[in-house]
Structure formats: C-alpha cells, structure tokens
Structure 1
C-alpha cells in the first residue's frame, strides 16, 4: 500500500497497517486514488478525507508490543513442545 500513499516514518507505517485492518485494502486504495490524483497523498490527508482519527503513537506502540509478546509466546510454546518431545524420545531409548 505504500505505493499509494506517502509513508514518511515508522508511525506512518503503523498507521497505514492500522488503517488496512480497519477499513481494508480496497477501500483504502480507492480513497487514495480519489484524493491523490497524479501524486501520492499524505497519510494524514487520507485520514482526514476518511474522517478517521488514527490512534496516538503511544497506543500503536502498545499494540505492537502486545503483538510482539504474543508471537514470542507462541515461539516459546513451540520450542517447549519440541524439547519435551525430544526429551521423551531420549528417555524411551
């Protein structure tokens, strides 16, 4: 989607991901085309045109941390499963 809107920093990247989850790619692409014309619109202009206020930076950071923790927990659970299975296999021999 970065090919349709101006993304200037990490906050913009996070807002774009948030918008994609909120309204979907098709609606976002259509709004960007309507607003941009020949040029890519700024993400802030796109949000104003859609009458959507993006979350604050702190809220997006907290959401990213929660997602990172969830991914880490899934990996750890998988590692524990693998280690538990290999430990049981070595005890069986």
Structure 2
C-alpha cells in the first residue's frame, strides 16, 4: 500500500491501517490516483479528504528521548514549586 501513499512515520502507518479497515484498499488506491501528481505519492491527509473521512487521533508514540525530557520537566516543576510550597506552609 505504501507504493500508492506517502507514509513518513508510525502515525501514518496507524492511520493507513485504520483507513484500510474503513474503506478498503481499492478505495485508497483510487483516491491516491486521483490526488497524485506525476511521480508524486499523495499524503494520507489528502487521501482522507478525498474519501471524506477523518482519522482518529492516536496517542503520540513515546521514544526514549521523550521520556528523558519528561523526567527533566518533572524535576524542573518540583524545583519551581519547592520555595512556593514552603512559603505557603508558614502562613
């Protein structure tokens, strides 16, 4: 199916799998052919618009780097809340 449609990431793969279940391969290929330019595969968003469907929103897939970033954010929030919490406790 990726021969007909531009798939760039895991979210695109999830949307394509959902779309195949909703409308079938033949409809996706027909929509891709109507949206595509010469030698250019259409984006999945264009295919969905052509088929008049809205894909469901999927949770972002977390990577190791994202988890590290979130741990740092939690630490920063704790540091920022620290003095404020102590100031309010004395009142």
TM-score by length of 2: 0.61
Query: What's the C-alpha RMSD, in Å, of the aligned pairs?
Result: 1.3
| CA deviation profile, 1:34-76 (whole Å, cap 9, x unmatched) | 1113110001111112111000013xx8xxxxxxxxxxxxxxx
Number of equivalences: 59
Specify the alignment match of 1:77 in structure 2.
Answer: none
Q: Which structure 1 residue ranges, 4+ long, deviate > 4 Å from structure 2?
A: none
The higher radius of gyration belongs to: 2
CA shift at 1:24, angstroms? 0.4
- Where do 5+ consecutive residues of structure 1 fail to align? 62-93
TM-score by length of 1: 0.59
| CA deviation profile, 1:3-45 (whole Å, cap 9, x unmatched) | 1011010000010011011100011101101111311000111
How do 1:7-46 residues align onto structure 2 when only pairs under 5 Å count? 7-38=7-38, 39-46=40-47
Aligned partners of 1:55 and 1:16: how far apart in 2? 11
